[in-house]
C-alpha cells in the first residue's frame, strides 16, 4: 500500500481541503502504517508556478501548510511529508512522461478549460502541462491509493492513461513500469461548495474570504461566516430528495454530515422542519468543536520555522530515495544512456 497525495500552497487551506482530502490523508497514513506500507504527502509548490505568484508568499505559505497538515494529524514519523521543490525527480519524470502524454488529453482537462477561459494563448505552459507533473507525482512512487476531492478525479484518470500507455509502449506484460493509481474520494464531502454560491466550489482562489472556512479561522470568524452563508427561506426538508434543487442548503447539510460522521439522511431526520435560524448555530458549534483543536495546534506550530523546515528536509530525503528506482527504470525503458 503506497498512499500519495499533494496539496498546493497557494492561498489558505480550507474546510473543502480538510473534508475532501486532508482527513483521508490522516486515515490512510494510519492504514498504510498498520500494514507496513507508506504514505507520502507533499506540498505541490512546483504546481504553484502555473499561476502568477509572489515568491516571498510562496515560501511562507509552504511552511504554514506544513504546520496545518501536522495540526490536522499527519505525523512526520509515520508519513513522509515534503515539498516537490526538494525532490527533483518529480519534474524530471514529468519531462520523461511528456513524450507519452498527448495534447488532446490535456486539452480536455476541465481545470485547464476553466482556468484558461477564453485566453488560452496568454496562459503559462505550466498551466497546460500541470496534469503531467501531477501524473509524475504519483507514478514516481508507484502509488496505489491517492486521496483527493472530486475535482482531482479527472487528473487522476489522466495519470492512469499516461501510465497505461507508457507500460504498453515501453514495458513488458510481466514487468509493467508503473502501477495504476486508484483515487480515494470520500462518499460525503467530495465537493464542498462556496458559502456564498452553492454552484461554485469552495476554493483558495475565491476573492471573497466569506466564501470559505479557513482552517486558521478563529471560532468567532467561523460562526460569522456560517451565519452569513447564503441560504433560502424554506425550512430544511425531512428527506434528501427535498435538497435536490437547493444547492446552498444541500451544501450546509453535507458539511454537517461529514463533520458529524453521519449520513445526510440522519442529519435531516434530526433537523428536518427546522429553519436555518436553528440549524446554522448547530453547524457553527460543530465546526468550532471539530476545527478548533486543529487551529490551536496550528497556532502553536506555525512560528517554529526551524522545525517545519526540518520536517520538509527529512521528508524530502526519504522521498528522493523512494523515487529513485522508478526513475531509473523509466530511463532504462526509454533507452536513455545514464552511466
Ligand atoms: P488543491 O491544492 O486544489 O487541493 C488539495 C486537495 O483538496 C481537495 N479539495 C476539495 N475537496 C472537496 N471540496 C472542495 N471544495 C475542495 N477543494 C479542494 C482537492 O481535490 C485536493 O485533493 N492538483 C492538486 C494538487 C496535486 C495533487 C498531486 C493531488 C498535485 N499533485 C498528485 C493528488 C496527487 C491541487 O491543486 O489540489
Which amino acid residue places its CA nearest to atom 22 of ligand 1?
A: 148
Q: What is the pLDDT of residues 186-234, one digit of tens each?
A: 988 899 999 999 999 999 989 999 999 999 999 999 999 999 999 999 9
Strand ranges (E), the chain: 2-7, 38-43, 80-83, 145-147, 182-184
- Using a 6 Å cutoff on CB, does residue 202 contact ligand 1? yes
- pLDDT score at 188: 85
**Measured torsion, CA atoms of residues 208, 210, 216, 218, in degrees rounded to the nearest 10:** 150
Task: Please indicate, yes or no, whether residues 10 and 42 belong to a single structural domain of this protein.
Answer: yes
Task: Please indicate, yes or no, whether residues 216 and 310 belong to a single structural domain of this protein.
Answer: no
- pLDDT score at 236: 97
- pLDDT score at 111: 97
CB atoms under 10 Å from CB of 339, counted, come to: 4
Placement of cell 520555522 in the chain: 305
- pLDDT score at 172: 87
CB-hemisphere CA count at 13 Å for 113? 9
Task: Please indicate, yes or no, whether residues 114 and 246 belong to a single structural domain of this protein.
Answer: no
Question: What total number of domains does the chain contain?
Answer: 2
- pLDDT score at 174: 87
- Using a 6 Å cutoff on CB, does residue 151 contact ligand 1? yes
Burial environment of residue 56 by CB neighbours within 10 A (0 to 12, 13 to 18, 19 or more): exposed
Which of 49, 152, 258 to mutate for ligand 1's pocket (most ligand atoms within 8 Å of CB)?
Answer: 152
Contact 146, 156 (CB under 8 A): yes
Distance (Å, whole) CA 250 – CA 260 = 15
Distance (Å, whole) CA 213 – CA 234 = 24
Q: Which parts of the chain have pLDDT scores under 50?
A: none
- pLDDT score at 173: 83
The verdict on residue 294 lying in a domain is yes
Burial environment of residue 264 by CB neighbours within 10 A (0 to 12, 13 to 18, 19 or more): middle
Cell numbers representing residue 24 in the block: 483521508
- pLDDT score at 339: 74
Cell numbers representing residue 112 in the block: 485547464
Task: Please indicate, yes or no, whether residues 139 and 279 belong to a single structural domain of this protein.
Answer: no
Distance of CA 198 to the CA centre of its chain: 20
Task: Please indicate, yes or no, whether residues 184 and 284 belong to a single structural domain of this protein.
Answer: no
Average pLDDT of the chain to the nearest whole number: 97
Distance (Å, whole) CA 312 – CA 66 = 8
Which amino acid residue places its CA nearest to atom 29 of ligand 1?
A: 6
Task: Please indicate, yes or no, whether residues 329 and 264 belong to a single structural domain of this protein.
Answer: no
The verdict on residue 159 lying in a domain is yes
Mapping DSSP onto H, E and C, the string for 56-79 reads HHHHHHHHHHHHHHHHCCCCCCCC
Nearest ligand 1 atom to the CA of 8 is 2
- pLDDT score at 258: 97
Task: Please indicate, yes or no, whether residues 215 and 186 belong to a single structural domain of this protein.
Answer: no
Q: Which of 204, 230, 280, 318 is catalytic?
A: 204
Q: What is the pLDDT of residues 36-48, one digit of tens each?
A: 999 999 999 999 9
Q: Any catalytic annotation for residue 230?
A: no
- pLDDT score at 40: 98
- pLDDT score at 129: 98
- Using a 6 Å cutoff on CB, does residue 138 contact ligand 1? yes
Task: Please indicate, yes or no, whether residues 183 and 74 belong to a single structural domain of this protein.
Answer: yes
Distance (Å, whole) CA 21 – CA 258 = 12
Range of the domain at 186: 2-190+304-334
- pLDDT score at 336: 97
Contact 64, 301 (CB under 8 A): no
Q: Any catalytic annotation for residue 204?
A: yes
The verdict on residue 53 lying in a domain is yes
- pLDDT score at 253: 97
Identify the CATH number of the domain in which residue 225 sits.
1.10.240.10
The verdict on residue 201 lying in a domain is no
- Using a 6 Å cutoff on CB, does residue 47 contact ligand 1? yes
Q: What is the pLDDT of residues 5-17, one digit of tens each?
A: 999 999 899 999 9
- pLDDT score at 178: 98
Instruction: Kindly give the pairing relationship between strand 145-147 and strand 38-43.
Output: unpaired
Amino acid at each position: 500500500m503506497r498512499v500519495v497525495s499533494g496539496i498546493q500552497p497557494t492561498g489558505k487551506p480550507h474546510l473543502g481541503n480538510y473534508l475532501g482530502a486532508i482527513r483521508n490523508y490522516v486515515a490512510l497514513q494510519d492504514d498504510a502504517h498498520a500494514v507496513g506500507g507508506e504514505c507520502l504527502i507533499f506540498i505541490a509548490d512546483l504546481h504553484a508556478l502555473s499561476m502568477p505568484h509572489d515568491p516571498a508568499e510562496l515560501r511562507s505559505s509552504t511552511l504554514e501548510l506544513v504546520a496545518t497538515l501536522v495540526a490536522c494529524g499527519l505525523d512526520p514519523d509515520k508519513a513522509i511529508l515534503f515539498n516537490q521543490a526538494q525532490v527533483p525527480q518529480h519534474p524530471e519524470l514529468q519531462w520523461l512522461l511528456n513524450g507519452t502524454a498527448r495534447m488532446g488529453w490535456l486539452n480536455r482537462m476541465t481545470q485547464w478549460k476553466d482556468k484558461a477561459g477564453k485566453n488560452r494563448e496568454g496562459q503559462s505552459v505550466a498551466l497546460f502541462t500541470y496534469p503531467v507533473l501531477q501524473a509524475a507525482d504519483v507514478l514516481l512512487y508507484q502509488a496505489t491509493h491517492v486521496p483527493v476531492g472530486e475535482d482531482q478525479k479527472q487528473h487522476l484518470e489522466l495519470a492512469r492513461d499516461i501510465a497505461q500507455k507508457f507500460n504498453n509502449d515501453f514495458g513488458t506484460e510481466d514487468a509493467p513500469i508503473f502501477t495504476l493509481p486508484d483515487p480515494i474520494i470520500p462518499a460525503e464531502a467530495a465537493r464542498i461548495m462556496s458559502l456564498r454560491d452553492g454552484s461554485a466550489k469552495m476554493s483558495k482562489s475565491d476573492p471573497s474570504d466569506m466564501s470559505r472556512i479557513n482552517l486558521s479561522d478563529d471560532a468567532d470568524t467561523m460562526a460569522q461566516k456560517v451565519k452569513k452563508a447564503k441560504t433560502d427561506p424554506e425550512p430544511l426538508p425531512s428527506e434528501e430528495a427535498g435538497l435536490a434543487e437547493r444547492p446552498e442548503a444541500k451544501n450546509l447539510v453535507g458539511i454537517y454530515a461529514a463533520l458529524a460522521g453521519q449520513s445526510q439522511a440522519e442529519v435531516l431526520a434530526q433537523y428536518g422542519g427546522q429553519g436555518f435560524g436553528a440549524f446554522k448555530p448547530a453547524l457553527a458549534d460543530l465546526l468550532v468543536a471539530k476545527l478548533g483543536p486543529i487551529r490551536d495546534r496550528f497556532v502553536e506550530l506555525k512560528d517554529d520555522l526551524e522545525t517545519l523546515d526540518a520536517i520538509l528536509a527529512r521528508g524530502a530525503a526519504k522521498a528522493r530515495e523512494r523515487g529513485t528506482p522508478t526513475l531509473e527504470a523509466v530511463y532504462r525503458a526509454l533507452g536513455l544512456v545514464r552511466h
